[in-house]
């Protein structure tokens, strides 16, 4: 009879250990997903900071011909200005693990935008703000490109023809 109870005790203990292991695995998965969402939110924040800094650099170009920064370092201290003009406080690393950002080059050779080089599939695939509508349905984070696109000047209206007669 003692052997029978002892077997039941071991079986119960094994069952409890299996339940605890399953619970820990579930907690680990939830934690990993939460951490991935945090890195993704950080990517969106930092990407927009770069986009804004590039826009400020572009718009502060003197004259009618606007230029993009030739290097990301120019966003920390603009060499075109006599004083210390800063558009970013520091260069932020890619939150998804890469140290270097992918660069989107403009026609003038300057940097028009940045993107993560991560090939991981994003958790967020819809519900983006209007400025990020191009991110909808992206297959990897590298498809999220934070590009400054200058506002287009309104097209000139054709001159009205004088009334005949």
pLDDT digits (tens, 9 = 90+) for 76-100: 999 888 888 899 999 999 999 777 8
Question: Does residue 125 fall inside a structural domain?
Answer: yes
pLDDT band at 131 (very low <50, low <70, confident <90, very high): confident
Residue 60 has pLDDT above 60, yes or no: yes
Say how far apart CA 141 and CA 117 lie, in whole Å: 7
Residue at 163 is within a domain: no
pTM (predicted TM-score): 0.74
Report the domain count for the chain.
1
Whether the pLDDT of residue 119 is over 80: the answer is: yes
Residue 136 within any structural domain of the chain: yes
pLDDT category of residue 157 using cuts at 50, 70 and 90 = low
Q: Does residue 157 form part of some domain?
A: no
In a domain, 152, yes or no: no
Q: Which structure tokens are listed for 2? A: 């003692």
155: pLDDT strictly greater than 80: no
Mean per-residue pLDDT for 97-110? 90
Residue 56 in this model has a pLDDT that exceeds 60: yes
Is 61 within a domain?
yes
For residue 131, give Cα distances in angstroms to 1, 28, 37, 77: 73, 34, 20, 27
- Does residue 33 have a pLDDT over 70? yes
Residue 165 lies in a domain: no
Q: What is the pLDDT of residue 69?
A: 95
158 within a domain of the structure (yes/no): no
At 1 the pLDDT is 44
User: Strand pairing of 102-105 and 145-147?
Assistant: unpaired
Q: How confident is the model at residue 152 (pLDDT cuts 50, 70, 90)?
A: low
Q: Which helix (H) or strand (E) holds 115?
A: strand 111-115
Q: Inform me whether the pLDDT recorded for 23 exceeds 80.
A: no
Assess contact for 124 and 32: CB atoms under 8 A: no
Q: CA 135 from chain center: how many Å? A: 10
Mean pLDDT of the chain: 84
Residue 60 belongs to what domain range?
9-147
């Amino acid at each position: 009879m003692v052997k029978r109870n002892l077997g039941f005790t071991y079986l119960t203990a094994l069952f409890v250990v299996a339940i605890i292991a399953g619970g820990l695995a579930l907690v680990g998965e939830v934690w990993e997903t939460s951490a991935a969402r945090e890195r993704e939110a950080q990517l969106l924040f930092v990407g927009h900071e770069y986009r804004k800094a590039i826009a400020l650099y572009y718009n502060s170009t003197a004259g009618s011909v606007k230029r993009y920064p030739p290097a990301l370092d120019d966003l920390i201290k603009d060499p075109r200005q006599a004083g210390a003009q800063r558009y970013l406080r520091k260069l932020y690393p890619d939150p998804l693990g890469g140290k270097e950002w992918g660069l989107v080059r403009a026609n003038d050779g300057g940097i028009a935008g940045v993107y993560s080089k991560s090939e991981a599939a994003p958790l967020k695939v819809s519900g983006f703000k209007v400025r990020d509508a191009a991110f909808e349905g992206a297959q990897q984070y590298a498809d999220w490109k934070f590009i400054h696109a200058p506002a287009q000047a309104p097209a000139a209206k054709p001159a009205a023809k004088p009334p005949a007669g």
